[in-house]
Amino acid sequence: MWEEKDNKLKRSFEFDDFKAAFAFMTKVAMLAEQLNHHPWWSNVYNQVTIELSTHDAGDIVTQKDRELANKIDQLLG
């Protein structure tokens, strides 16, 4: 579940292994390019953490962030 905190949408994901986590990140990267909206993220082994905010709007959560978060969730469904 996404959490809105500190002017960011944040969520952590856990996968079976590094390969699955990296495959997920690759899919997210393709979405981000399509939307021209790129996340801050980190990856440690099977965990991926994503933070979304809109730099052009003053680093706050906007509809662009909510749209990307929704599309990321759809990757998991």
| Model confidence, pTM | 0.92
Delimit the domains of the chain by residue range. 3-76
What digits encode the pLDDT tens for the residues 46-58? 999 999 999 889 8
Residue 77 has pLDDT above 90, yes or no: no
Please, which contacts does 32-35 make with residues 24 or more away whose CB atoms are closer than 8 Å? Answer: 32/68, 35/64, 35/67, 35/68, 35/71
- The topology under which CATH files domain 3-76 is Gyrase A; domain 2 (3.30.1360)
What digits encode the pLDDT tens for the residues 3-55? 999 999 999 999 999 999 999 999 999 999 999 999 999 999 999 999 999 98
**Residue type for position 44:** V
